[in-house]
Amino acid sequence: MRIYEDLRVVQARLALLQSAIAVVLALLAGSFWHSQVVRGKYYKDLAENNRNRSVPIAAPRGPLLDRKGRILVENRPSFNIVVAPEHLEDVDLTITRLASVLRMGEAQIRERLARREDLYRAVVVKEDAPAEDVAALEARRLELPDVSVDVVPLRSYPLAAAAAHSLGRVGEVTDRQLRLDDFAGLGPGALVGQAGLELRYNRNLMGHDGERRLVVNSRGREVAEIRRVSPVPGPSLTLTIDEDLQIVTERAFHGRAGSAVALDPETGEILAMTSTPAYDPNQFSSGIEASAWSRLTSDPDTPLMNRVIQGQYVPGSTFKIVMAAAALEEEVITPQTTFYCPGYLSIYGNVFRCHKPAGHGVVALHQALAQSCNVFFYQVGVRLEIERIAKWAQLFGLGAPTGIDLPHEAPGLVPSPEWKLRTQRVPWYGGETVSVSIGQGQVNVTPLQMARVAGVIASGGRLAQPHLVKAIGGQTIAYPAPQPIGLRPETIAAIRSGMRAVVEEHGSGWRAQLPEIQIAGKTGSAQVVARAHLAQHPSSAALQPHGWFIAFAPVDHPRIALAVLVEHGGSGSAAAAPVAREILEQFFFGARGAPRSAVAAGAD
């Protein structure tokens, strides 16, 4: 019996041992299954990347060309300092040595290394390194074996600030952008468009990066190149801009703040666009310093803002073009209707002044436009009322984005009783209509919108789609045909006659006159403070009105329409009309000073 009792003890212990062995074997099997099946790809990639390394080859962004094929934006070769972090034996020592060679802060290098998402991808620690940095690094290659130099294309803007707001700029993709669908598939450090056309057409311009597949040894040193996939450069963009006209448009401001845009009224092609003060986009190509960025963002003159599409201003007397069209179409007046201007209009318990204290006397539409008589248009506004004014302003394209192929366009504002009740919860008053009738009060426009207003009269009553890009990679882009807004030929003729008198009959825009070319225009002064406050501080430049001038030419066969705004210029006649004259002189006469035909002037 004792033998059997002893066997039971042995059998129990044996069963326990067998169970323990089974558990261990199960654990080993589970571990093998987890390593080879669940995490098999990870370990395979780890082993493969111990032997192979992928080095991206940046694709050059597509160049931007003007309407005649001249380069506006191109690429230049530059040197990037990169680190392969996965094989660093002493990270701290490498960072210390690298910071000394590149004259950078260690914290900046650590931050770059910490941002990497791909363990096996080299990290750029300094873009567009100068030749002395490259030479110093090559001289210490044995001390920094995991640091190398890549030659990459870098964006170059030959015009510098002259077309910065339309062409845009590039920069390293931000964390916010990486979360957007438009930047899907990109990683930290990617160079993308950040403003202007560079942003709007970013995906078109980027092309496709290439790749070098390398064999490396156990220390990460390159042994051989297995494969090379060449990058595919981005396609070129052919723009509607004329380089010569763009340069002259920039210079015509002579350092003053403002904006100007010129377009073809028949097609909507933007011939020149400038916003001043501007910035040099070359600063951003290799990464702008924090101090320089801070200066740009805190500058009270807002050089980063594109005033042509983002500046929202009171249009002043340039709005009288819209008023005249509305009044004629609604049959509130005829071209022969006259009003008496004694220098003021007393209505709704207020006195509304004309800019000429002595008054203009009896005036019809032609004289009212030529001399910019406020009282005439006060009378027109009272008869139209705000609802019909708002209707025609919207038909002219005001109060909504134009749809130009640039990001972040402002809509402006066309006020109405519904808008005021919705936003301010108070009713509309008749006195507000009187102010709106001369382009004051709550109405706000962008310079591009006012260039389109001039373009509507120039094109015979059609509203064109403004755009900057003619073709992508040689493929012409089709834009919507200009749409009629419902103006009768006699309305167009009456307004054209009055606008021609503004320039050609010693009206308020006489400073825009050119020999041999008849110009139609309209001046305007947009108040920034109340007249009483300005009278108390007449010498304060910041309180002076903005000067407007919109125009088209030649009068009979228009090939160009434009809007000029000089901020705090005092008046459109003195400040904006001379700027327009320089732009039109370049367009029609060119650098040689020889007159060109209207058809030739508008051709490529």
Q: CA 65, CA 86: separation in Å to the nearest integer?
A: 42
**Residue in the block written with tokens 């920039």:** 250
Strand stretches in 48-146, DSSP E: 52-57, 64-65, 71-83, 123-126
Active-site residue, 275 included: no
Q: For residue 315, with 0-12 CB atoms within 10 Å meaning exposed, 13-18 middle and 19 or more buried, which class applies?
A: buried
Beta bridge partners of 484: 462
DSSP H or E stretch at residue 546? strand 546-553
Angle between helices 320-329 and 489-504 (to 10 degrees): 150
Q: Assess contact for 516 and 502: CB atoms under 8 A.
A: no
Those residues whose C-beta lies under 8 Å from the C-beta of residue 340, and which sit 6 or more positions away, are 361, 362, 375
127 DSSP 8-state letter? S
Beta bridge partners of 347: 350
Buried b (16+ CB within 10 A) or exposed e, 292-301: eeeeeeeeee
Picking from 188, 191, 206, 192, the residue whose alpha carbon sits closest to that of residue 122 is: 188
Task: Tell me phi and psi for residue 281, to 5 degrees.
Answer: -65, -15
Rounded-to-10 torsion of CA 135, 141, 145, 147? -10
Picking from 363, 407, 525, 392, the residue whose alpha carbon sits closest to that of residue 165 is: 407
* DSSP string over 178-209: HTSGGGTT--TT-EEEEEHHHHHTHHHHH-B-
Those residues whose C-beta lies under 8 Å from the C-beta of residue 137, and which sit 6 or more positions away, are 81, 101, 102, 144, 147, 149
| Other beta carbons within 10 Å of 367 | 20
Task: Tell me phi and psi for residue 184, to 5 degrees.
Answer: -60, 140
Collapsing DSSP to helix, strand or coil, 211 comes out as strand
Catalytic residue among 236, 259, 286, 317: 317
Q: Assess contact for 428 and 386: CB atoms under 8 A.
A: yes
Task: Tell me phi and psi for residue 58, to 5 degrees.
Answer: -65, 135
Q: Assess contact for 474 and 345: CB atoms under 8 A.
A: no
Cis peptide upstream of residue 277 (ω within 30 degrees of 0)? yes
Q: CA 289, CA 495: separation in Å to the nearest integer?
A: 52
Distances (CA, A) of 324 to 364, 499, 562: 11, 11, 19
| Neighbouring C-alpha atoms within 13 Å toward the C-beta of 167 | 33
| Other beta carbons within 10 Å of 569 | 28
Q: CA 407, CA 202: separation in Å to the nearest integer?
A: 11
Catalogue the active-site residues: 317
